[in-house]
């Protein structure tokens, strides 16, 4: 590990450290937005779900376009424009007071995130040797989860479920992150524009993506997987806050959310060491199944020890699904289309659109008194991703076999 980190670029460290503090900032504010809207603003669960979902809905198209722009115009300008715009969005959250305003701002939140994130991942790929990318991508994942460990606890202490003031702290964090990027990018050799001979027109990039069957199947499988995962910050907080089975449900959810992040930190590398022995798709498939089982667990368990078991199980599924996703895309994408492919991963956020909305509608319909129907339905939707991922895995193996046969014939 030490040897792999010895030659890490200052930009890479900047993005990793910025990711840590950025996730602290967002996780002390955004996860409490659903509770704030339902408990303080008296917004219905269905409308709240729509407000949470719009962030991902807007991000779907903009992620592909933002990733493409980072390939065509260069990483620097896209990183800096998106991060400072993001800071302005958080300032808006601190002062807005209407449902329409929250709807618009969360849409802009999704826009900024879905442009900045694929571009930053493409930068990490650009600046890292292929043999070290798994380590760097998972350091980023670790940074995210360290941030999510402390963010909800800070948010709880700041009263984020009852006020939007913590969004100001998030804005300040992202402004500092942006300034630090200006400095490190100015000292780097990262180009401000892409190599002209490798530029691909938007329509051509879209056509290439559309013809990649393995990628498209993986996208559909991940959409359904993320539908289940998205319940962690949409339906679950609402369920815990209104269910008569839980006393101080908001506090309980905050602690479980932090436990989720702590579990990621503790189990991420042991699970990755096991998962890297197999293909990324195999890891994602197993993760989907484990996460789906944990959703059923939330329907039938109300005592703390078993809730802890369920959140740990949920987290294991999360790790298995997401720790290999960036490597999967990095393996599939051509060098001149890295940003585009990482951007196209934004389409998986359809799961974050459907998930909160479906969860909110089910919660409206069944309430918190019929959790077996609520979480049973969510289990069914999530597990549907497995057949698509299995087919993508089959096509991947077939493709590798054909390539191996072709090489043998040439030799």
List pLDDT tens digits, range 21-30. 999 988 888 8
pLDDT at 247: 80
Which positions ≥6 away from 339 have C-beta within 8 Å?
67, 68, 69, 70, 71, 75, 118, 119, 122
**CA distance linking residue 148 with residue 20, whole number of Å:** 9
pLDDT at 394 over 80: yes
Given a contact cutoff of 8 angstroms between Cβ atoms, the answer to whether 19 and 147 are in contact is yes
Average pLDDT over residues 390-407: 79
pLDDT digits (tens, 9 = 90+) for 69-78: 777 777 788 8
pLDDT of the residue at 192: 45
3-state secondary structure 348-368: HHHHHHHHHHHHHHHHHHHCC
Sign of CA dihedral 355, 358, 363, 364: positive
Mean pLDDT rounded to a whole number for the chain: 82
118-127, 261-270, 370-379: which has the highest mean pLDDT?
370-379
pLDDT of residue 195: 44
Check pLDDT > 60 for residue 129: yes
Name residue, tokens 């300034």.
Answer: 179
Q: What is the DSSP letter of 7?
A: T
Give which of 291, 269, 233, 338 is closest to 23, Cα–Cα: 233
Q: Which residue has the higher pLDDT, 269 or 409?
A: 269
pLDDT at 196: 43
Residues 121-140, mean pLDDT to the nearest whole number: 81
pLDDT computed for residue 197 by the predictor: 43
DSSP output for 146-197: HHHHHHHHHHHHHTTTT-STHHHHHHHHHHHHHHHHHHHHHTS---SS--GG
Residue holding tokens 């790929």? 125
Residues in CB range of 57: below 8 A, 6 or more apart: 107, 110, 349, 350, 353
Instruction: Give the pLDDT band (50/70/90) at residue 63.
Output: confident
Mapping DSSP onto H, E and C, the string for 226-295 reads HHHHHHHHCHHHHHHHHCCCCCCHHHHHHHHHHHHHHHHHHHHHHHHHHHCCCCHHHHHHHHHHHHHHHH
Cα separation values, 313 from 264, 291, 359, 394, Å: 11, 7, 20, 27
CA within 13 Å, CB half, 290? 20
Q: Which residue has the higher pLDDT, 159 or 67?
A: 159
Give the model's pLDDT for residue 165: 81
Q: How far apart are CA 325 and CA 284, in angstroms?
A: 8
Sign of CA dihedral 107, 292, 219, 118: positive
pLDDT of residue 366: 85
With b for 16 or more beta-carbon neighbours within 10 A and e for fewer, the 68-96 pattern comes to: bbbbbbbbbebbbbbbbbbbebbbbbbeb
| pLDDT given for residue 125 in this prediction | 80
Higher pLDDT pick, 371 / 342: 371
Q: How confident is the model at residue 160 (pLDDT cuts 50, 70, 90)?
A: confident
pLDDT tens, 189-205? 665 444 444 455 556 56
What average pLDDT does the segment 268-289 reach?
86
Position with higher pLDDT, 270 vs 330: 270
| pLDDT of amino acid 105 | 92
> Considering the chain, what percentage of its residues have pLDDT values greater than 90?
23
Does pLDDT of 118 surpass 90?
A: no
Q: pLDDT value at position 20?
A: 93
Lowest mean pLDDT among 28-37, 341-350, 373-382: 341-350
198-202, 264-268, 300-304, 359-363: least confident range: 198-202
Q: Is 130's pLDDT higher than 80?
A: no
Q: What is the per-residue pLDDT for 287?
A: 94
Reading the block at residue 350, the tokens are: 């359809």
Q: Shortest CA distance to 237 belongs to which of 89, 34, 4?
A: 34
Q: Which of 42-46, 63-67, 99-103 has the lowest mean pLDDT?
A: 63-67
CA-to-CA dists, residue 120 to 51, 176, 184, angstroms: 26, 16, 14
């Amino acid at each position: 590990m030490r040897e792999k980190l010895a030659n890490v670029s200052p930009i890479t460290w900047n993005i990793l450290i910025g990711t840590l503090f950025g996730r602290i900032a967002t996780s002390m504010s955004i996860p409490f937005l659903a509770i704030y809207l339902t408990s303080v603003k008296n917004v219905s669960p269905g409308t709240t779900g729509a407000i949470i979902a719009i962030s991902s809905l807007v991000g779907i198209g903009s992620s592909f376009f933002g990733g493409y722009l980072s390939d065509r115009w260069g990483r620097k300008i896209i990183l800096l424009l998106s991060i400072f715009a993001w800071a302005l969005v958080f300032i808006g959250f601190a002062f807005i007071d209407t449902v329409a305003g929250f709807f618009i701002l969360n849409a802009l939140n999704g826009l900024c995130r879905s442009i900045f994130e694929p571009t930053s991942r493409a930068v990490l790929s650009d600046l890292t040797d292929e043999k070290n990318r798994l380590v760097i991508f998972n350091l980023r994942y670790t940074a995210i989860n360290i941030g999510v460990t402390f963010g909800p606890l800070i948010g709880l202490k700041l009263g984020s479920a009852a006020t939007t003031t913590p969004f100001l702290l998030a804005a300040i964090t992202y402004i500092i992150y942006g300034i630090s990027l200006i400095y490190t990018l100015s000292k780097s050799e990262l180009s401000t524009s892409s190599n002209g001979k490798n530029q691909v027109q938007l329509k051509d990039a879209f056509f290439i993506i559309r013809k990649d069957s393995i990628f498209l199947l993986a996208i559909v499988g991940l959409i359904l997987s993320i539908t289940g995962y998205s319940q962690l910050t949409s339906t679950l907080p609402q369920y815990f806050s209104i269910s008569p089975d839980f006393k101080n449900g908001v506090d309980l959810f905050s602690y479980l959310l932090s436990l989720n992040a702590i579990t990621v930190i503790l189990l991420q590398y042991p699970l990755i060491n096991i998962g890297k022995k197999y293909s990324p798709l195999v890891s994602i498939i197993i993760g989907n199944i484990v996460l789906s089982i944990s959703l059923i667990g939330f329907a039938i368990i109300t005592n703390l020890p078993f809730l802890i078991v369920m959140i740990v199980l949920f987290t294991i599924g999360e790790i298995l699904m997401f720790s290999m996703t960036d490597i999967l895309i990095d393996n599939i994408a051509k060098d001149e289309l890295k940003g585009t492919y990482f951007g196209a991963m934004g389409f998986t956020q359809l799961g974050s659109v459907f998930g909160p909305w479906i969860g909110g509608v089910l919660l409206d319909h069944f309430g918190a008194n019929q959790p077996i129907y609520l979480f049973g339905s969510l289990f069914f939707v999530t597990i549907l991703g497995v057949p698509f991922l299995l087919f993508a895995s089959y096509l991947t193996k077939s493709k590798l076999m054909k390539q191996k046969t072709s090489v043998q014939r040439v030799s």
